Amino acid sequence: MRGVFTIEDLRRRARRRLPRVVFDYIDGGADGEVTLRENSAVFDRVRFRPCNAAAMGPCDLRTTVLGTEIQLPFLLAPIGSSRMFFPRGECVAAAQAGAAGTGYVLSTLSGCRLEEVRAATSGPAWYQLYLIGGREAATAAIARARAAGFSALVVTIDTAVAGQRERDLRNGGRELVSGDPWKMLPHVAQLLARPAWLIDFLRDGGMMKFPNVVIPGEGAMAYEDVGAALERSTVTWRDMAWIRDAWQGALVVKGVLDAEDARRALDAGADAIVVSNHGGRQLDCVAPTLVALPGVVDAVGGGAEVYLDGGVRRGSDVVKAICLGARAVLVGRAYAYGLGAAGGAGVGKAIEILRSGVIRTLRLLGCLEIGGLDRSYVEGS
């Protein structure tokens, strides 16, 4: 990790190590990638209002999420297929989150069993739910997550269909997972061009299945076209009742961008809401999450905790989101670049880059506690 000082440095390292199809899966967004770009660019338009000549001392980065104290004001967001980036990728990332004293959110579309991921981390772990495989498969996964010790269920509501990710189409992502040698052949060269990754991939078992999506009578779901699977398993507000009854624990609704959906989430029994546009990977040209955040916070009115994800690349971004009302931030691509670049060392480096950035920003703002941040420290959006 010598010479790595920013998340962008990790991004460049990941690009060198990963095949194009895998890197673009992490890096890309939907359609023209307008929202993908705006999610990050909007942070640049928020200006700080520091209180200078303030007394200095140690910074306190602790916060609580759903009643659990974490040592950092950010958690690692759910990212599907992380095992494609690095062997046992979900377990590796979860272990780093625990070592840093923060939480990890596991995607339904994990390549590692949820029980293994929970055992890999000493920190809090949440399970993110898609209804892929149908209600029976989802109910079984919920029961497993509860038994394994996951402390919250995160229901993603913005995936009625998968967004059109044009990089994946150009790179032959669907063809490479089709199992048809003739469809795969034109795209294999990009895998052969990254022999170190390919060796790791094959040693880790090659093309994975989704062991947390166990379809009755069939077993673990194969790595098929996830878009088609999502389209068959759209979650609606009506589903929240049986999901809540099956889970009987803290419920987080992820994918909220406006006041109306925020109020629906409250009515559905949400304990927390994630302001998210899926990292710009679903519907393009929607509001950047930092723009949507204050309106959702105001609509919720303290009835649930509010988190943000999307576009976070620096510790100062984390601070801006908290100033604008987020209890904590979920970071996705920032650590995924680290995982793709260097496995656990890369994830740990991403966490440290963000942590040190938060500390530096707090000191320069004259506010030494995450809990002391509010809108008085920023202007513009």
C-alpha distances (whole Å) from 259 to each of 46, 225, 262, 275, 301 are 21, 33, 5, 10, 11
Which CB contacts under 8 angstroms, 24+ apart, belong to 248-251?
248/146, 249/146, 249/151, 249/152, 249/153, 250/66, 250/67, 250/151, 250/152, 250/153, 251/152, 251/153, 251/155
278 annotated active-site: yes
C-alpha distances (whole Å) from 9 to each of 37, 338, 341, 344, 348 are 18, 9, 10, 16, 14
**How far is Cα 224 from Cα 231, in angstroms, rounded to an integer?**
13
Q: Give the type of residue at 183.
A: K
β pairing state of 68-70 and 272-275: unpaired
* Torsion sign across C-alpha atoms 6, 8, 11, 12: negative
What is the total residue count of the chain? Answer: 381
C-alpha distances (whole Å) from 348 to each of 233, 354, 355, 378 are 34, 10, 10, 29
**How far is Cα 194 from Cα 130, in angstroms, rounded to an integer?**
32
On the CB side of 134, CA atoms within 13 Å amount to 8
Query: Which is the catalytic residue, given 278, 281, 327, 349?
Result: 278
For the chain, helix, strand, coil in percent to 5 are 50, 15, 35
CA angle 253, 94, 76 (to 5 degrees): 45
**How far is Cα 25 from Cα 132, in angstroms, rounded to an integer?**
20
| Helix or strand holding residue 41 (H, E) | helix 34-41
| Active-site amino acid positions | 278
